[in-house]
Amino acid sequence: MKPVTVFALLLLLMSCDSAVKQDDKNAAALLAEGRWVDLSYAFSDSTPYWPNNPEGFRLDIEANGITEGGFFYSSNSFCAPEHGGTHLDAPVHFAEGKQTAEQVPLESLTGAAVVIDVSAKALKNEDYLISVKDVEDWEKEHGALQDGTIVLFRTGYGQFYTDRKKYFGTDKKGSEGIALLHFPGIGPATAEWLAAKRKIKAVGIDTPSIDYGQSKDFKTHQLLLGKNIPAFENVANLDKLAARGAYVVALPMKIKNGSGGPLRIIAWLKN
């Protein structure tokens, strides 16, 4: 059974109040046929952020210990830019008047996903631009992309996530750091082709940006987000997914009027 069919059936089962107990068993049995893979990095003070966000993620401990009442209590506050770590780029990030973080529909954040592996090329060229030919070559082997697919690109740079210099191409901060960014991304022509010819619903990548590091106009962002196609950046563990067969659930923090936000993205795989 395809993952997308599993989730459609689960929704149908859950809507039938007259058979709740049986439905629970059926849903559990269906989910037991697969496993979940976490595609998110944890947030901490070591989470890499864009060079012009030098402070990054900060967690402040407000309470952590035994209270006067004799029970344990822990509570923290945090502060972070919207764009860093595993996160969502909402369409409004680069397209005026398009969907803000809380407006992105669940249909755009969930669905059947594919992984297009370009790591053999990208690891040899830190400025590699994923091409239309890369996608067409993938289709020749795995079949054509269906409308409404979530497309995840694996460049292999996820292995460098904890090494800022290798992951970003530089460990410098501020404007100096931005000028020295080097990592692969999706070519603008490919973005336009995916939106027009394949009608994808979302895109993800295992680098800091869907545009390559040396981009000055962020055209790939403009083209995809301008079509209300959200992007997932700094996606983890793409090496654990096959080319086809995953069902992705990508739920960001629901920030009103946000241009993006921290993202917990997971994938369900059939055993």
Q: What is the pTM of this model?
A: 0.91
Whole-number mean pLDDT of the chain?
Answer: 92
> What pLDDT is stored for residue 24 in this prediction?
61
> What pLDDT is stored for residue 17 in this prediction?
45
How remote is the C-alpha of 214 from its chain's centroid? 21
Query: What is the spatial distance between Cα 164 and Cα 113, in angstroms, rounded to a whole number?
Result: 28
- Lowest average pLDDT, out of 25-29, 53-57, 163-167, goes to 25-29
Q: Which fold has domain 35-55+82-270?
A: Glucose Oxidase; domain 1 (3.50.30)
Range(s) for CATH 3.50.30.50 in the chain?
A: 35-55+82-270
Which residues are within 8 A (CB) of 250 and not within 5 positions of it... i.e. 6 or more apart? 88, 109, 110, 150, 202, 204, 232, 263, 264, 265, 266
> What pLDDT is stored for residue 254 in this prediction?
98
Q: Where do runs of H (alpha helix) occur along the chain?
A: 3-14, 20-32, 106-109, 119-122, 132-142, 164-168, 174-179, 188-193, 219-225
Q: How many CB atoms lie within 10 A of CB 43?
A: 18
